[in-house]
């Protein structure tokens, strides 16, 4: 049976940072062409399954493993490589039963690599979407077999022939309601400014503990503020105790699936500098204090944050991995973020960056729309 529509398979995973941008592009594809079919191929990590199940999309986990030079990790990669390719080839063939063109959109990361190889074997077009300012091993390899390479960042290490687009943000992460309404969704006072603290889809323990250390250094530092803290699966009880002792109203949650309201509630934010967090801060015009992930050798999160920091819309500090030391080193930056006059200037700087329209541009190109 031959189909008459278009089908797009989005491949990526291992974290929300690789999945949410794919969801954003798929969302725009459906808006432009309601008849288009979309499906996701992700890793078999629990975070991927939980996230995509919550989004209500069709997806297939594959046992992909990261590229590594360590012997056991390389063995696991090799052992599962062929199985992953066979799975994705089957998905492409199935899609062809109802679609006359199938395109593989590789959203980066280790789950995208065998999917792209499968697409090549099936002679399906491959589009790579790079999200980080420093492309990782998988993306550099993917670029060699992709028909088109897109990048949602303009980092110095991104090849010049990759097509540039602005950040990719799903509509579900962009504020659409008044800040007071957003604050009430988390049980917070609609009239009091909110500090959003987020460690990404899995939380960030060193950020959690740095916040607690700040409160020990200065128990009044959050006077006049309330907090929405996405903490991950650890530190929740300790954080609640710290906020209570400091007299700070706080909503501490392990995971937030309503980021539009979270960003809409926020007058300022603290978090890592993954591509998704940077894009959402840009799109919501939220002043941020970034603490890039401290264990990346290439420090690509620091490069991710550079456009916001350079324009004056964000601050950036180093996570030493010792929360007490980090808190002592950065409490002045924290106080600066909370200063109303500073934030006014930061918002003005963010407004000058332009729209986060990467998902629209990419979706129109995939669909060959002007």
Tokens found for residue 269: 């934010």
What is this structure's pTM? Answer: 0.89
Residues 121 and 97 in one domain: yes
Residues 339 and 231 in one domain: yes
Taking only the tens place, the pLDDT of each residue in 135-146 is: 988 899 999 999
Residues 89 and 194 in one domain: no
Residues 155 and 78 in one domain: yes
Cα 325 to Cα 146: distance, rounded to the nearest angstrom = 44
- Would the pLDDT of 3 be above 60? no
Residues 326 and 255 in one domain: yes
Residues 71 and 197 in one domain: no
Query: What is each CA distance from 243 to 207, 266, 270, 355, in whole angstroms?
Result: 15, 17, 16, 35
Residues 273 and 314 in one domain: yes
- Would the pLDDT of 212 be above 80? yes
Q: What is the CA radius of gyration of the chain?
A: 21
Residues 207 and 146 in one domain: no
- Would the pLDDT of 32 be above 70? yes
Residues 155 and 226 in one domain: no
Query: What is each CA distance from 222 to 194, 242, 245, 246, in whole angstroms?
Result: 10, 12, 12, 8
Taking only the tens place, the pLDDT of each residue in 110-126 is: 889 999 999 999 999 99
Residues 146 and 183 in one domain: no
Residues 362 and 280 in one domain: no
CATH of the domain at 160: 3.40.50.2000
Give residue 32's domain range: 5-166+356-366
Based on the structure, what is the number of domains in the chain? 2
Contact indicator for 40, 59 with CB cutoff of 8 Å: yes
Residues 153 and 79 in one domain: yes
């Amino acid at each position: 049976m031959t189909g008459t529509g278009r089908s797009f398979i989005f491949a990526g995973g291992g974290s929300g940072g690789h999945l949410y941008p794919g969801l954003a592009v798929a969302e725009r594809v459906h808006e432009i062409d309601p008849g288009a079919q979309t499906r996701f191929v992700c890793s078999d990590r629990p975070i991927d399954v939980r996230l995509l199940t919550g989004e209500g999309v069709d997806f297939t986990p594959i046992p992909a493993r990261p590229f590594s030079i360590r012997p056991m990790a390389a063995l696991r990669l090799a052992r599962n490589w062929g199985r992953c390719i066979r799975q994705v080839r089957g998905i492409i063939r199935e899609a062809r039963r109802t679609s006359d063109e199938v395109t593989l959109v590789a959203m980066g990361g280790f789950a995208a690599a065998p999917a792209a190889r499968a697409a090549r074997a099936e002679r399906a077009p491959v589009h790579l979407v790079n999200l980080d300012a420093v492309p990782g091993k998988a993306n550099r390899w993917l670029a060699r077999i992709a028909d088109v390479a897109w990048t949602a960042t303009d980092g110095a290490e991104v090849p010049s022939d990759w097509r540039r687009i602005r950040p990719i943000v799903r509509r579900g992460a962009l504020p659409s309601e008044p800040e007071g309404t957003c604050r009430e969704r988390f049980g917070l006072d609609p009239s009091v400014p909110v500090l959003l603290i987020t460690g990404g889809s899995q939380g960030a323990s060193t950020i959690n503990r740095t916040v607690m250390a700040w409160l020990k250094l200065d128990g009044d530092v959050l006077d006049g503020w309330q907090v929405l803290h996405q903490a991950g699966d650890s530190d929740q009880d300790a954080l609640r105790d710290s906020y209570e002792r400091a007299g700070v109203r706080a909503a501490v949650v392990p995971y937030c699936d309503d980021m539009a309201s979270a960003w809409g509630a926020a007058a300022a934010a603290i978090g890592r500098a993954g591509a998704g967090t940077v894009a959402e801060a840009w799109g919501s015009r939220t002043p941020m204090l970034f603490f890039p992930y401290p264990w990346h050798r290439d420090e690509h999160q620091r490069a991710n944050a550079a456009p916001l920091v350079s324009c004056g819309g964000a601050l950036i500090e180093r996570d030493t991995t010792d929360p007490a030391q980090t808190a002592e080193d950065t409490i002045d930056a924290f106080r600066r973020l909370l200063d109303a006059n500073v934030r006014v200037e930061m918002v003005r700087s963010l407004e000058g960056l332009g729209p986060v329209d990467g998902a629209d541009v990419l979706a129109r190109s995939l669909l060959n729309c002007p």
